[in-house]
Chains A and B, each alone.
Chain A
């Protein structure tokens, strides 16, 4: 067993895990954060996307001990008690998710993109979502929603909007 200590959504968490455990399983099984999904376990689908030290990562491909001492942000860390994250709000309003299984991963990819590039072109958005497969939506409403956020249409916290 290996001891890992990492920062998850702003909180320091510790777990003792088998060395072969992936970050995805650590989050889901040890910490109960089931937002990131297991779609393929081999880095193809992006359902397990989380942000580690500011960069998107397929958490099924990262071992938990590799995340030791790092900052991990999952979809559960985006919203607060008072408000949805603007991307979540935009995804809701645009109807960007259908079955929703890809959603947490897509939203994390979008978040990493907008943090780095607040005004992305459609091409840049497509590029940022290239690692996230969705079988339901055809992506167009996700792209529209991300554009909305970039334009600031959705900067308002949900609790305060009319």
Chain B
């Protein structure tokens, strides 16, 4: 057997001390074995020996046994099931919500609408998102009312019985329409452009004047949903002293707790959030969704309440990846060196801000690519539209701009008849290069990585493989 680094051996050994085989006695029940008192704490600044190691997870045995308890696998005594009624219309004013028929259904215990939410707005930066829409619907996935019933089936039937009267408002679906000054503000008085960033370095006009050729291209990416295999879910339960416990799939519980506290008007000290094992997040579970809804329903009914998103809700009512329209103008020398680059990014933010500001910033900073560019002008806008809101998703805008700058790099290489690898080697950042925001970069190994990769997969120049 090959010798493993001490830390790995130790980690494996610790896992074994759990003696998990014993728990198989009652497969559907909680483990009946003591859990280790000592836990493995990674030492700060120590490189984990991960490369070339088989990475296993301490919890993967329970995953394979079907013993891991995700939210939907939990049940609290007396628990009710909640369903949220979705607007199904992209933009409208809510004239009335009639819940009488739903409330009268046998098995329905509590019904709430947007008007029952103490502070009906939240968000990680701009507080522009309602828990349940009350006056205005901003996108089709907005919730307008919620029901708690003794079974999920009854709750699903009850939301069908809720009647909402809308006055439709023409939706704005194109980010470029939203950009126009004459377009009425979706979240008036706030402007439709709710985030803007500019990065300037050197003198682009001078760079373009000195260029041998100038390339222009426009690149677009689409909206992407995270599709975690486990849908968003939460369970809320109040104790008689007015303390709230929420079991949730939230990935950022401290932030979520602040939002829950704000929306419910309950001090944070009275809210406990239990983060369970999450069945896939990818950035999509960074914000509260069902949590305030189940909390209010639980309060109204006096019983624990669970809500699990359906798969359609997962697509329509949780955040997605920002679609970007990216205009690139790049001036190069005869040899293919980038002399100047001008970039305009338009992010379609959808109905609410969510993590748009982070995405905007990161997309803008990374939009130049891993290349040494002395003359740079990058500008980014994020605008509201009446579509599913966008938010955090792996990379916060980095994959979108990568698609644009690498696509253009290939266009330039083809036009100048330079090998695509060579043009990247020529322009790549070096040790000590300055980033677009003039940060001095260390441990830069772009070239080494490119060369190794090219060698590994047999890159033979000009698109051919050896």
Contact = CB atoms under 8 A, between A and B. Distances in A.
A162 to B, nearest CB: 9
Contacts of A95: 54-57, 60
Nearest to A74: B66
Contact of A98 (B57, B65, B70, B227): B57
Contacts of A45: 229, 311
Given A35-B66, A95-B57, A101 B229 contact: yes
Nearest to B314: A40
Contacts of A133: 229
B231 interface: yes
B263 interface: no
Nearest to A158: B21
A44 B311 contact: yes
A74 B28 CA distance: 11
B153 interface: yes
B73 A34 contact: yes
Interface string B260-276: 00000000000000000
A135 B229 contact: yes
A33 interface: yes
A79 B280 contact: no
B16 to A, nearest CB: 10
A127 interface: no
Q: Name the prevailing secondary structure of the A interface residues.
A: loop
B64 A107 contact: yes
Interface in B1-60: 21-22, 24-25, 27-28, 54-57, 59-60
Given A42-B311, A95-B55, A82 B21 contact: yes
Contacts of B226: 135
Given A95-B54, A97-B60, A36 B280 contact: no
B163 to A, nearest CB: 25
Contacts of A37: 70, 72-73, 229-230, 279
A97 B24 contact: no
Contacts of B308: 38
A74 B67 CA distance: 12
B115 interface: no
A140 B72 CA distance: 27
Most chain A CB within a 10 A radius of its CB, from B59, B60, B230, B282: B60
B56 A102 contact: no
Interface string A80-110: 1111100110011111111111111001000
A133 B314 CA distance: 16
A143 interface: no
Contacts of B310: 41
Contacts of B427: none
A26 interface: no
A78 B153 CA distance: 31
B24 A80 contact: yes
B279 A92 contact: no
A32 B230 CA distance: 18
Interface string A114-158: 000000000000000000011110000000000000000000001
Nearest to A100: B63
A138 B66 CA distance: 20
B278 A91 contact: no
B54 A93 contact: yes
A5 B445 CA distance: 64
B228 A75 contact: no
A76 interface: yes
A138 B138 CA distance: 35
Contacts of A39: 229-231, 311
B206 interface: no
A47 interface: yes
A33 B64 contact: no
Most chain A CB within a 10 A radius of its CB, from B69, B226, B228, B280: B280
Given A91-B64, A100-B60, A100-B68, 18 more contacts: A32-B28, A34-B69, A35-B28, A35-B66, A35-B67, A37-B70, A37-B230, A38-B231, A39-B311, A76-B65, A76-B66, A94-B54, A94-B56, A97-B60, A99-B228, A99-B280, A100-B277, A135-B229
10 contacts: A33-B27, A38-B72, A38-B231, A76-B27, A84-B65, A99-B228, A100-B63, A103-B64, A158-B21, A159-B21
